[in-house]
Amino acid sequence: MTTEVRVPTLGESVTEATVATWFKKPGDPVAADEMLCELETDKVTVEVPAPAAGTMGEIVAQEGDTVGVDALLATITEGEAKSAPAKTEKAEKSEKPAASAPASGGDSVDVMVPTLGESVTEATVSTWFKKAGDSVEADEMLCELETDKVSVEVPAPAAGTLTEILANEGDTVQAGGKLAVLSSGDGAAQKAQVSEPTKSSDGEQYTTPPAGRDVEDAPSAKKAMAEAGISRDSVTGTGRDGRVMKEDVAKAASSASAAPAPDAAAPRAPSPAEDASREERVKMTRLRQTIARRLKESQNTAAMLTTYNEVDMTGVMTLRNEYKDEFLKKHGVKLGFMSFFTKACCHALREVPEVNAEIDGTDVVYKNFVHMGIAAGTPTGLVVPVIRDADQMSFAEIEKAIAEKGARARDGKLSMAEMQGGTFTISNGGVYGSLMSSPILNPPQSGILGMHKIQDRPMAINGEVVIRPMMYLALSYDHRIVDGKGAVTFLVRVKDALEDPRRLLMDL
- Among all residues, which ones are annotated catalytic? 479, 483
**C-alpha distances in angstroms, 7 versus 47, 71, 77, 133?**
10, 5, 18, 43
Report the half-sphere exposure of 104 (CA within 13 A, side-chain side): 9
**Which of 343, 350, 347 has the alpha carbon at shortest distance from 394?**
343
Helix (H) or strand (E) holding 127: strand 122-128
Instruction: Please answer whether residues 307 and 484 qualify as being in contact, where contact means their C-beta atoms are separated by less than 8 angstroms.
Output: yes
Instruction: Count Cβ neighbours within 10 Å for each residue of 406-427 and write b for 16 or more, e otherwise.
Output: bebbeebebbeebbbebbbbbb
Strand 424-428 with 372-374, pairing: parallel
Contact criterion met (CB below 8 Å) for 135 and 110: no
d(CA 264, CA 262) in angstroms, rounded, equals 6
Please give, one letter per residue, the 3-state secondary structure of 183-207: ECCHHHHHHCECCCCCECCCCCECC
Per-residue b or e along 480-501, where b marks 16 or more CB atoms closer than 10 Å to that residue's CB: ebbeeebbeebbebbbbbbeeb
DSSP 3-state of 394: coil
**Helix 395-410 with 314-331: angle, nearest 10 deg:** 80
Largest CA distance in the chain: 92
Say which residues have a Cβ less than 8 Å from residue 305's Cβ, sequence separation at least 6: 476, 477, 479, 484, 487
Q: What are phi and psi of 402, to 5 degrees?
A: -65, -45
SS3 assignment, position 391: helix
Integer Rg of the chain from CA:
27
Cβ-count burial of 274 within 10 angstroms (0-12 exposed, 13-18 middle, 19+ buried)?
Answer: exposed
Strand partners, 465: 460
